[in-house]
Structure 1
């Protein structure tokens, strides 16, 4: 039970930071926050993603490219231009590292307003730090695992951030249902998104890219991250941009 609780906590905290901070904030600027709170979210992302920490700056820029060039040869992660899931993940990694290390030639318009805390981005990307996180996960399993089979969960801990991205970028462009006709293959992967905190409503999001609530178009569509975002807005930790909490942008 301890291992299961640890795995679920890591899974949901990681995907929550990815959807709120990296996706809805860094990439789409659906809300604003102070520089102080921005650093708090950087730290929370570092803790929750651990060994698979993703740079909010690089993620934001890369995701903007995805929306601008979805399912074309310029898409950083399109199944249509990849041999398989792992080929797509490797191409995504290459795009990401080029952006992270300033080796890209991406137009400046895609980089406008993305968060950037260079010290934390360097810290999270250091292999020594990543290995330290992996070691900590392994030691936790050694202490609490009740079966050798449970150690098969460790690779998911090591690569939690990329795993979450791959689920949406591959499977939500391959399987699921469509609410709206869009110029790409984005689909809603899950009728009720208990797994990805709203991220699986990919077709909805590609139709209304600035809408903070990814669900809500059918009775069964519930975006678990949206009520939390509304709470953060009520507490004045973040400020939803006018019209982006419910409006179809």
Structure 2
């Protein structure tokens, strides 16, 4: 039971930081927050993503490029221009690292307003930090695993952030259903998104890139949106006006 709870907690807390902070805030600025709260969520991203920490800065810039050049040769991660899932992941890693280490020649407009806290970025990308988190995951499994096959879950813990990314960047551009005609292959992977906290409504998101609620049809529940509304009610964040639409 401990292993199950630990895996589920790591999956959803890591995913929450990716969809809430990296995606909806860093890349799209669907809401605003104070510098103090930005640093708090930066720190929580490092804690919850652990060994697979993704830089909010590099993620934000890369995701903006994805929207601007979706399913073209300039897209940082398109199944249409990759020979396999692993080929796309490798290209994405190289693109991400070039942005992270400022080796890119990307136009300034894609970087404008993207949060950047060098202190946590440096810690999160440090191999001692990544290895430390990995050792912690292994220790937890040694303490609580009751069957040998449970240790097969460890690679997912080590690469949790990229695993979440590839589910959407590969599968949600190849499989699923479409609500809206868009200029790329984005699809809604799951009609009820219990797995990706709203991220799988990818076709909806590509149609309404600035909309905080990724669900559009009556049955499309975006679990991250009530969390956003709660933080807005508590005045931790401030949603931009006219951010919601009625359901279809």
- For the aligned pair, the TM-score class normalised by the smaller chain equals over 0.9
Kindly report the root-mean-square deviation, in angstroms, between the aligned alpha carbons of the 2 structures: 1.0
Q: Which residue of 2 aligns with 1:219?
A: 218
Q: Which residue of 2 aligns with 1:82?
A: 82
For 2:93 and 2:245, the matched residues in 1 are separated by 33
After TM superposition, which residue ranges in structure 1, 4 or more long, deviate above 3 angstroms? 245-248
What SS does the corresponding residue of 1:86 show, helix, strand or coil? Answer: helix
Deviation at 1:244, TM superposition (A): 1.6
Matches within 5 A, 1:33-72: 33-72=33-72
Show CA shifts across 1:192-239 (max 9, x none): 000000000000000000000000x22210000000100000000000
For 1:205 and 1:121, the matched residues in 2 are separated by 27
Q: Which residue of 1 aligns with 2:156?
A: 156
Matched, 1:121 2:121: yes
What SS does the corresponding residue of 1:172 show, helix, strand or coil? Answer: helix
Report the number of matched residues: 247
TM-score of the pair, normalised by structure 2: 0.98
Q: Which residue of 1 aligns with 2:240?
A: 241
For 1:227 and 1:246, the matched residues in 2 are separated by 14
CA contact (8 A) 1:176 1:189 kept: yes
Gaps of 5+ in 1: none
Show CA shifts across 1:8-52 (max 9, x none): 000000001000000000000000000000000001100100000
CA contact (8 A) 1:180 1:204 kept: yes
For 1:245 and 1:84, the matched residues in 2 are separated by 36
Show CA shifts across 1:164-218 (max 9, x none): 0000000000000000000000000000000000000000000000000000x22
Deviation at 1:144, TM superposition (A): 0.2
TM-score of the pair, normalised by structure 1: 0.98
Q: Which residue of 2 aligns with 1:95?
A: 95
CA contact (8 A) 1:211 1:247 kept: no
Deviation at 1:246, TM superposition (A): 3.5
Deviation at 1:245, TM superposition (A): 3.5
Show CA shifts across 1:130-170 (max 9, x none): 00000000000000000010000000000000000000000
